[in-house]
Amino acid sequence: MSAPSPIVFPRPAPPDLSSIDARLDLEEEISRLKKEKRAVLLAHYYQEEEIQDLADFVGDSLDLSRRAQETDARLIAFAGVRFMAETAKILNPTRKVVLPDYEAGCSLENSCPPEMFRAWREQHPGAVSLTYINCSAAVKALSDIIVTSSNAEKIVRSIPPGKEILFAPDRHLGAFLVKKTGRPMTLWPGTCIVHEQFSEREMLRLKAQYPDALVAAHPECPEGILKYADHVGSTRSILQFATTAAGKRFLIATEEGIIHQMRKLAPDREYIALPPDNGCRCNECPFMKLNTIEKLYLCLRDERPEIVLPEELRKAAEKPLLKMLELS
């Protein structure tokens, strides 16, 4: 297995909010800058409502990868976390890719340093490695096929029987896939700090309070939550389920940012975020929420922080991503 160079750039300086003219209408400025700079604004469902409303496209990680790959915009402003912006750069290297806050990481990415991942792979010669898109470019470069929560089941089923599968870095998504497909896999022990916190006790309390409610959950949730779900899937599929399934009330076990699109698409339904609003903001992704409208304005104005990847690393990371797109 070739060893791609690690990213050794100094981290970009944090955005300088004091350089913003307080008299500006930032929403207007963002729309103006998008046109002036031939930029496209891609946003994940977990972004602040005002960012989602300004975006040219809001989607899950698979949709966003496809949009990034297809766009002919000069500049891609990626309102999501860094691994998503990196994916955009990997798939469309001639575009400039910026994100509002370079520190917008992901606990799954943090759980899987490339050197440890490489050592793990070396302990399993001959195994195929399916890696969740929530990982660094360096880990992608060491993987055989990337998956998202939208296509993971299909991709697992495409692996010839008898072949050992390594799945990283989300152990809950991995365990869900093992159960769903009956295919044994060796799992990396990472978790998402947001989905990991949903409590079974709160789920039981809410189900008792709203016995008619249907439950939609992201597969990053632990089994103790997933076992109550009427629907398990990616953010886009959760949105589709909650806005189209027969039913009026839905318990939502994923980051609460997605409820904004639910209310826009089907405002006559009730969406209850798990856990309830009891003062704790633990159903918000602290990484996603580092992006703010001020930082979005600055990244469009100054065209930084920019995603820059060594070409050798980009190419190595592109291979398993293209394989994923081909199999999706």
Among 129, 136, 235, 283, binds ligand 13P (CB under 6 A): 235
Lay out the site mask for ligand 13P across 82-101 (x = CB under 6 A, - = otherwise): --------------------
Distance CA 294, CA 20 (A): 8
Among 134, 143, 151, 283, binds ligand SF4 (CB under 6 A): 134
Q: Does 287 bind ligand SF4 (CB under 6 A)?
A: yes
Q: Does 106 bind ligand SF4 (CB under 6 A)?
A: yes
Distance CA 187, CA 208 (A): 34
Smallest Cα–Cα separation from 284: which of 17, 45, 43? 45
Q: Which does 193 bind (CB under 5 to 8 A by kind): ligand 13P, ligand SF4, none?
A: ligand SF4
Q: Does 61 bind ligand 13P (CB under 6 A)?
A: yes
Distance CA 74, CA 52 (A): 21
Q: Does 288 bind ligand SF4 (CB under 6 A)?
A: yes
Among 60, 86, 255, 256, binds ligand SF4 (CB under 6 A): 255
Distance CA 262, CA 239 (A): 6
By the 8 A CB rule, do 199 and 179 touch? Answer: no
Strand spans (E) along the chain: 39-44, 57-59, 75-79, 96-98, 128-132, 145-147, 165-168, 186-187, 214-217, 231-232, 249-253, 270-273
Q: Does 131 bind ligand 13P (CB under 6 A)?
A: no
Q: Does 192 bind ligand 13P (CB under 6 A)?
A: yes
Q: Which two tokens stand for residue 295?
A: 């930082």
Q: Does 65 bind ligand 13P (CB under 6 A)?
A: no
User: Nearest approach, Cβ of 219 to ligand 13P (angstroms)?
Assistant: 8
Comparison of 47 and 73: residue with beta carbon closer to ligand SF4: 47
Distance CA 167, CA 184 (A): 10
Q: Does 256 bind ligand 13P (CB under 6 A)?
A: no
The span of 11-19, 101-109, 243-251, 266-274 binding ligand SF4 (CB under 6 A) equals 101-109
Query: Which amino acid is residue 150, in one-letter code?
Result: S
The count of other CB atoms within 10 Å of the CB of residue 177 is 25
Q: Does 220 bind ligand 13P (CB under 6 A)?
A: yes
Among 194, 217, 290, 300, binds ligand SF4 (CB under 6 A): 194
Distance CA 296, CA 288 (A): 12
Comparison of 159 and 217: residue with beta carbon closer to ligand SF4: 217
Q: Does 107 bind ligand SF4 (CB under 6 A)?
A: yes
Q: Which does 292 bind (CB under 5 to 8 A by kind): ligand SF4, ligand 13P, none?
A: none
Distance CA 313, CA 45 (A): 28
Q: Which residues of 197-209 are buried (b: 16+ CB within 10 A; e: fewer)?
A: bbeeebbeebeee
Q: Does 134 bind ligand 13P (CB under 6 A)?
A: yes
Among 39, 54, 60, 185, binds ligand 13P (CB under 6 A): 60
Q: Does 148 bind ligand 13P (CB under 6 A)?
A: yes
Distance CA 258, CA 22 (A): 30
Beta bridge partner(s), residue 252 = 216, 273
Q: Which of residues 35-94 bind ligand SF4 (CB under 6 A)?
A: 81
Q: Does 234 bind ligand 13P (CB under 6 A)?
A: yes
Distance CA 223, CA 205 (A): 17
Which positions touch ligand 13P (CB under 6 A)?
Answer: 60-61, 134, 148-149, 192, 218, 220, 234-235
* Residues that bind ligand SF4 in the complex, under the rule CB under 6 A: 81, 106-108, 134, 192-194, 220, 255, 285, 287-288
